[in-house]
């Protein structure tokens, strides 16, 4: 893999990790009911879902195919839902997805970041 391709992959993965951590911070001090009444946080979480899906979509298809432990299609599909069906977003679905589906992504994304970094280091040595 070229250094440029590796750098683009690493940047997208880092963007995903930042989105995951940001979302966790946004929902950390709330419960489902508080969240459903907090328009600012709803819009912030929606925005982070969009960022997460965009970053996943920037990854090359062959890279995503090589790492099937991450549900790439679901991440990208949820981004599309946030963008195109924004007027019908159920806050309960948004909350459930932020609480149940996003945190399990953190470890495999962080692991991929380390793997890509090690690969870059090996290629530069």
> Does the predicted model carry a pTM greater than 0.75?
yes
For residue 64, what pLDDT is reported? 96
Q: How many Cβ atoms sit within 10 Å of the Cβ of residue 97?
A: 17
Total of domains in the chain: 1
pLDDT digits (tens, 9 = 90+) for 46-100: 999 999 999 999 999 999 999 999 999 999 999 999 999 877 789 999 999 999 9
For residue 10, what pLDDT is reported? 96
What are the C-alpha distances in Å from 100 to residues 51, 58, 119? 18, 24, 31
| Domain carrying residue 30 | 3-124
Measured distance CA(27)–CA(84) in Å, rounded: 23
Measured distance CA(4)–CA(75) in Å, rounded: 24
For residue 6, what pLDDT is reported? 87
Residues with a catalytic annotation lie at 79, 84
pLDDT digits (tens, 9 = 90+) for 7-32: 999 999 999 999 999 999 999 999 99
Measured distance CA(6)–CA(26) in Å, rounded: 30
Q: Which of 72-81, 105-114, 116-125 is the least confident region? A: 116-125
For residue 5, what pLDDT is reported? 83
């Amino acid at each position: 893999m070229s250094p440029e391709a590796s750098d683009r992959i690493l940047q997208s993965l880092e963007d995903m990790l930042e989105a995951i951590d940001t979302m966790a911070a946004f929902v950390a001090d709330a419960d489902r009911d508080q969240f459903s009444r907090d328009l600012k946080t709803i819009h912030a979480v929606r925005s982070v879902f969009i960022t997460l899906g965009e970053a996943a979509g920037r990854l090359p298809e062959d890279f995503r195919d090589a790492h099937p432990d991450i549900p790439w299609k679901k991440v990208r599909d949820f981004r599309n839902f946030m963008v195109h069906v924004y007027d019908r977003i159920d806050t309960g679905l948004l909350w459930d997805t932020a609480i149940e589906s996003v945190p399990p992504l953190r470890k495999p994304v962080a692991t991929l970041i380390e793997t890509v970094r090690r690969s870059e280091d090996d290629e530069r040595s």
